[in-house]
Amino acid sequence: MAKRIESPSSINTFKQCQRKYYYQYIAKLPTLPNIHQVRGNIAHSTLESFYEFDASMVTTDNCAQRIHARIQELFVRHWQRYTQELDKLHLNNDQQMFYFEETMLMLMNWANQFIQDLQAQAAVKNISFPEAFQQLTPIREQRFHSDHYSVQGFIDAIHQVEDQIQIIDYKTNASFEFKDAIKLQLAIYSLLYFEKHGIKPSKVGIFFLRHKLKLMDVDEELLDLARREIELVHAHTSRHEGLEQYPRCTGPLCKWSTGQCDFFEVCKPFEGKTSNGQK
């Protein structure tokens, strides 16, 4: 059986619950949209298009005002573009307003930090704001694909900082932690970059939009983590295609106070189990 093309999401899903991987990537059952995904997409689109800004009129005096206005305008535009997806979630007006305002605040938080970086760049290098803006503009939404590892991924932003490369992903997560799934995602991005360019990025990290940027060094250990986990998934998925070969991993990710796994109804994870989870 040929190797499947994996991604950081599919690999993390496999590690989380193999049955879930089976439903999503082999049976290709539809997943259900949720507000966290939709507003995450809106935030990503806003930040991606932010850099198409004509910065020629930006000065010390108007920098903060113009950047805030730009983010607000883009966010509203992208929120409207997602009207159909938002309507499918059947949120009431209060809920929609809550997520709209919360996401706007996250983007304003990002904008405030960008303004600080812009001011610092212009001052330290003694250059104009438009020049500083250009230097801080990353390569955005790049697709990386490896035939060798049979993995692909989309990297939100690649920054050149002096002679260093930094790979950044944006997240709206509440937590400011590099959980294992995030570390693996960043390890895979580093490996994909290394394979394509022949050099390791210096750092990878997450811009947690509620908080701030958090980076980690890229070393051989991180690349080995990616290689090992990719290989483990291929070793299984290139040999097995049957539902029974993808066991359930029942636990808190099946159902929680405000939601449930997309495949809960078809999976029926707790059917036939006693209250203590035993068959």
Token digits for 1? 């059986």
Instruction: Look at residue 149 and give its three-state secondary structure.
Output: coil
CB of 61 to ligand SF4, least distance (A): 53
- Residues near 72 by beta carbon (within 8 Å), at least 6 away in sequence: 104
75, 114, 208, 263: which one binds ligand SF4 (CB under 6 A): 263
Neighbours of 213 (CB within 10 A): 15
Q: Is 269 in the site for ligand SF4 (CB under 6 A)?
A: yes
Site for ligand SF4 in 3-42 (CB under 6 A): 17, 19-20, 23
Q: How far is the CB of 235 from ligand SF4 (least distance, A)?
A: 20
The residue behind tokens 């009129």 is 57
Rounded CA-CA distance 195/20 in Å is 29
Which of 15, 68, 211, 248 binds ligand SF4 (CB under 6 A)? It is 248
Of 198 and 252, the one with the shorter C-beta distance to ligand SF4 is 252
- Buried b / exposed e over 55-70, threshold 16 CB at 10 Å, is beebeeeebbebbeeb
Shortest CB 178 distance to ligand SF4, Å: 23
DSSP per-residue string spanning 67-110: HHHHHHHHHHHHHHHTHHHHHHTT--HHHHHHHHHHHHHHHHHH
- Which residue, 36 or 227, has its beta carbon nearer to ligand SF4? 36
Minimum CB separation from ligand SF4 for residue 267, in Å? Answer: 3
Q: Which of 176, 241, 253, 259 binds ligand SF4 (CB under 6 A)?
A: 253
Number of residues that bind ligand SF4 (CB under 6 A): 14
Residue 205 or 269: which CB sits closer to ligand SF4?
Answer: 269
Which residue in 19, 122, 4 sits closest to 63, CA to CA? Answer: 122
Nearest residue (CB) to ligand SF4, 198 versus 256: 256
Return the DSSP state at 55: G
Q: Which is nearer to ligand SF4, 43 or 267 (CB)?
A: 267
147 or 241: CB nearest ligand SF4: 241
Question: How far is residue 53 from each of residues 66, 137, 170, 193, 275, measured CA to CA in Å?
Answer: 10, 10, 19, 27, 57
Give the footprint of ligand SF4 on this chain (CB under 6 A): 17, 19-20, 23, 248-250, 253-254, 261, 263-264, 267, 269
